[in-house]
Structure 1
Amino acid sequence: MSTLVTDPIRGTSEPGRYWTTTNLGEAVPDVMTPMCWSVWGESAELGWLYSMYAFGVLPSSKVVVSPDTNDHGLAVFYGRQALNVDAIRKIMADLPGVNPDDFERDLMGSVRADAPQYKGSLKRLPVILVKAPKALRSTGGELRRKHDEIYAWWLREVYGPSRGQGTPSGRPIERLTEARDRFADVFKTHCVWRFIFQGAQSAITDAAAKAGDPALATQVMSGVGDVNETRMSDDLWRLAHGELGEDEFLRTWGYHGPNEGNPYTVVWREDPSRVHSLARSYASRKSERPRDREERAKQAGKAAEAKLLAATSATQRPVMRWLVARSRNIVRTLQVGKAGYLMTLDGARAAARAFGEEQIAKGNFTDRDDAFFLTVEECVQLDAGQLPGVAEIVAERRRTREVYKAMKLPVAFRGMPEQVAADEPEDDQEKAAADRAAGRTVEFSGAASGGGRVEGRARVVLDASADVELEDGDILVCRFTDPGWAPLMSLADALVIDIGGSASHGAVVARELGIPYVIGTEIGTAALRDGDRILVDGIENVVRVLAPAGDPTSGELTGNAAG
């Protein structure tokens, strides 16, 4: 890269810092552009700090972005976001009732033997005792109100104009900065709710363990009902069966699409062809309707709740009943918050492309998507005629992003991550390949699992926009999921996902659909081949190849689902 062109997405870290791409790798799955990071970076850092302020752990004076990246709760490395595990552990140690080890276990699937132990301070306990209950009471309603206001804005300023229904207000650069401001505002509230969800899930997990049946935790959190992703999948089923029109579907869900957490992508309102393909899959199969799957999962969740209550002492039973009901509402609202911030990202996406078209007319860009290779601040400078050399900046950053896309990062690393070629196998992948070559059983586990057991045909899907049709009995194997994957997930009999944990999007949706899952495998898409017959055992946290692709018993594919 030219010494005159900066690289906003490379990142920096001191050697000992412990980082992970888990969770954020699911929220922003593709390599970020400079604009993606300039929308996410400061907003997400302030959001995490604000959540600690909302609980009373931090004073308002500490809700500022440190000039030292090593102090940040999150940062970017080669275009991927990562969490600063130790920095977050240190602050969370001051939150009563929250164990930093639980945070790391939920995030990573396990706790490091050498994880630093921080002794929480009681200095702010009086403030916490006042603010934390208020956050618990008010945040859910606040998040829903913000979602509804954002949805009205999105319909008026983004969806309508994109479909020839009105004109957005303000100039493109004004709409871009407004969308980022809206993202920052809703994301901070979402962060508060995310930690409330974390605490509720930990409480249910502890209660199930004390009751002598840890599996009850997953079962109790299944089938909470009325979760956005299940509603979206059911609406797609209705679209496929002529019960819903395309415009009505897109007016509700058009901000979704592949890699939707990255503003630099194309969502369904811009290109509904993937919606058409999914609808054809729903129409051609006599698959169970998503709403019916949800209802079955709800019944299983109620049965698990009855078991948990029966194993709880009579004096504690009313509290446990309240906790379970509260936890289910928390799950529903968590997905509402995610929808809210995804709509603001779509607003940034639309404004950036409009800005790009404006700059083509001025001779500064050759492609409207050149805008994504500038930060929002640089776009403001360009709009004011104060950014020289823009063509060189865009060209260099486009080339650099292609280099980063050819790299893969470990799920966890210390300091700057090693630059590894995307096709270079990791140790676990090499073991799986060696086992396969030697005729030994290929088997692995994940960071989280649940939902029972199922055998079926593996469908390895690397691209959410690929034109893939799942058949009855197929198991979806993918790197990550975000809400745009939900319609495909609802056609699968089980899920195997590389990235994620017990609180991840994939786990939430799998529990709503009542299907087995093993998540956070890191190697599933590399260790499995399209067409393998596999066992997904969510009870024992195991994925096992029963028959390789090509074996007569595996049900070999005639095509490749990898996309």
Structure 2
Amino acid sequence: MSSASDNPVHATSSPTTRWSRANFAEAIQGVQTPLGWTYWDYVMEISVRRAFGRMGVFPRSQLKMPTSVDEKFAAAFFGRPAGNVRTMWLIGEAMPGTSGDAVVEQMFGERRPEGARKKDSAGKRRYPIVAVKLPLCARWAAKTLRPILADQRQWWHQSVIVSPPKDQAAAIALLKRSAEEFIRVGERHASMTLIGQGIAEQIEALAQSAWGSRDRAADLMTGYGSMEETELMGDLWEVAQNQLSLDDFLARHGYHGPDEGNLASTIWREDPKPVQRMIDQYRSASVAHPKAKEAAQIARREATEADLLAALGRGKRSKAKLLLKLGRSLIPMREVGKAGFLHAIDGARCAARVLGDDLVATGFLDARDDVFFLTYAELIAGVSTPQQELVAERKANHAQYQTLDVPQAWTGNPTAEVATPKASDAPVAGVEQITGIGVFGDEEVTGRARVALDPAAVDLEPGDILVCRTTDPSWTPLFLVAEALVIDTGGQMSHGAIVARELGVPCVINTLTGTRDIPDGAHLTVNGTTGVVTIRQTEPA
């Protein structure tokens, strides 16, 4: 086995650095291959640093890639990406209108990491700079994100669907271009993510001020309209109604698919069977067009905004109107940015598979997908010698890591144990209730649990409650069929939470153990306000 020092998917941390996998599994799914992680590591670190530089949080000296893993935003351990809690706490401390404690709570569900001291952060010293640069950054990102997405759609369609690369040189060029496209949209996406979290926090505070509770805050952050996932579900609905061809759907949305943030995954343009399965579910369930749900949520938000303004004192209404307007404009931008970088990832995926074919033809690899066990730097430098021995070593690591259970959060270096798989039909004795974060839903919902680890392998019927580890856009077509959602990981600004609010689907997120503790077929009662999920082995009387 490779040692930690030369293993591209297993870092070594100092004993005091706090790490968390929360939210990362939503974007970067599964145990990462060397190519998958080194690509993500490169584009993500640059994107985030440039974003914080543009917001004024980072001085110019911090824009370059750090040499120490403990100074990075993320690292991989046993192939699993994790975020640096202390780094994000320090950033939150330099942001007006929020704090390090609030940022790590929203992003990771964590408290202030041990040893993190306010005097060690930039704190209010950077407030004047951020106060000037942050509004400019928000305006810049909001103005440019949608045009960039439109441009990237054309680039992806031409480079992947119409005219994919035919040789090693063209594939390397596409791989490098995909990284550039990721960074281009990623800088804006990172800006909108943190700014959107700050606005969401302020909207929750408005609800607290008006009604003495944050329970109705979700109704102020729904019905934004024109979400990327609504377009995806609308097009799928049209395929189910024979109003759009499957080929046209894949030409628009084929970059999505199971575990689409994992470079080595097989997505819809490569295997459309999961799409056909969802089309069949749409037909059998007779689901309504997502625009109908969207319209209902818009009306709900507008009524709640009116109630809020009426409940606030006159002196607070101007600020409230501004915050609500900013929420409508900026919070949906997180999903626009995500669609952009997913196009870039699929460009890299296409390039990698072409490179795999080329390297098999030259005898440097034994199988096409062995290319994913080389690193991004190795591939763009050009491969000119046999790689079988190195690939075999890295594949052995990967196989071992897939058998391990890695903690959700830890300090220093994680201790992994061999995972004990749970049979999906075996009841878990003694667990009658789990609790997460209530995302949406003002009434309790009861239905049959469908525990799913793969969106392509679950058949939902009307009234079923979808229980899953995390979600990405490939899951969201199921949201139209599900009665409610119970999700292991995430927070109020996670993908699943945002889309659930937009569609008005009751949702509890960050249960941590839902897919482990809820037997498939059990009857659940989900409270989207309190975050409580009650488990019954048999249908209630």
Partner of 2:447: 456
Q: Taking structure 1 as reference, are residues 168 and 334 closer, same or farther at Cα in structure 2, changes over 3 Å only?
A: farther
Counterpart pick for 2:418 among 408, 417, 421: 421
- The Cα of 1:122 is off from its aligned counterpart by 4.0
Correspondence for 2:206: 207
Give the counterpart letter for 1:470 in structure 2. Answer: L
CA drift of 1:2 comes to: 5.3
Task: State yes or no: 1:37 paired with 2:37.
Answer: yes
* Runs of 4+ displaced beyond 6 Å: 166-169
Displacement of 1:168: 9.5
CA distance in 2, matches of 1:449, 1:128: 30
Question: Structure 1 stretches of 5 or more lacking a match?
Answer: 426-431, 437-441, 556-563
**Equivalent in the alignment of 1:528:** 518
Give the deviation of 1:397 after TM superposition.
1.1
Whichever residue aligns with residue 525 of structure 2, its letter is: L
Q: Mark the CA change 1:500 to 1:115 in structure 2 (over 3 Å): closer, same or farther.
A: farther
3-state secondary structure, aligned to 1:199: helix
SS of the equivalent of 1:502 reads coil
User: Any stretches of 5+ residues in structure 2 without a counterpart?
Assistant: none
2:398 is matched with 401
State the partner residue of 2:139.
137
Are the counterparts in 2 of residues 161 and 168 from structure 1 also a CA contact under 8 Å?
no
SS in 2 for 1:151: helix
How far 1:328 moved relative to its partner? 1.9
Report the counterpart of residue 188 of structure 1 in structure 2.
187
> Which residue does the alignment assign to 2:235?
235
- Residue identity opposite 1:488 in structure 2: L
Q: Residue 364 in 1 paired to residue 346 in 2?
A: no
1:158 to 150, 157, 160: 160
Instruction: Kindly provide the amino acid, as one letter, of the partner of residue 465 in structure 1.
Output: A
Paired residues for 1:70-469 under 5 Å? 70-109=70-109, 111=111, 116-119=116-119, 120-161=122-163, 171-211=170-210, 212-383=212-383, 385=384, 388=385, 390-423=387-420, 433-436=428-431, 442-452=432-442, 453-466=444-457, 468-469=458-459
Superposed CA deviations along residues 217-260 of structure 1, whole A, max 9, x for unmatched, are 11111221111112211211111011111122112211100000
Please say if residues 157 and 168 of structure 1, whose CA atoms lie closer than 8 Å, have aligned partners that are also in contact: no
Quote the Cα distance in structure 2 between the aligned partners of 1:455 and 1:204: 29
The alpha carbon displacement at 1:123 in A equals 3.7
> Is 1:5–1:396's contact at 8 Å kept on the other side of the alignment?
no
Amino acid at match of 2:403: A
- SS of the equivalent of 2:508 reads strand
Q: Which amino acid aligns with 1:183?
A: F
SS in 2 for 1:258: coil
User: How many residues get paired?
Assistant: 534
1:303 to partner: Cα distance = 2.0
- Counterpart CA distance in 1 for 2:214 and 2:5 is 53
Q: CA deviation at 1:554?
A: 6.4
Is the 2:2–2:393 contact (alpha carbons within 8 Å) kept by the matching residues of 1?
Answer: yes
1:340-375 CA deviation, whole Å, 9 max, x = no partner? 000000000000000111111101112111111100
Alpha-carbon separation, structure 2, partners of 1:382 and 1:175 = 13
1:176 Cα deviation after fit: 1.2
Name the amino acid aligned to 1:542.
V
Any idea what the Cα deviations from partners look like across 1:144-170, whole Å, max 9, x if unmatched?
2221221111011012236xxx97996
Deviates further, 143-152 or 507-516: 143-152
Question: Deviation at 1:51?
Answer: 1.9
The answer to whether the 8 A contact 1:177-1:376 is kept is: no
* 1:558 counterpart residue number: none
Letter in 2 for 1:13: S
Identity %: 36
- Report the CA distance shift for 1:507/1:284 in structure 2 as closer, same or farther (over 3 A): same
For the Cα contact (< 8 Å) 1:457–1:554, is it kept in 2? no
For 1:89 and 1:136, the matched residues in 2 are separated by 21
| Structure 1 position 177, deviation (Å) | 1.6
Pick which of 535-544 and 216-225 moved more: 216-225
| Stretch deviating more after TM superposition (291-300 or 343-352) | 291-300
Deviations 1:176-219 (A, max 9, x none): 12212221222122101111111111110111111113112111
The structure-2 alpha-carbon separation of the partners of 1:115 and 1:25, relative to structure 1 and needing over 3 Å to count, comes to: farther
Paired residues of 1:105 and 1:111 also in contact (CA < 8 A): yes
Three-state SS of the structure 2 residue aligned to 1:455 is: strand
Q: Structure 2 CA distance, aligned partners of 1:107 and 1:497?
A: 15
Paired residue secondary structure (2:524): strand
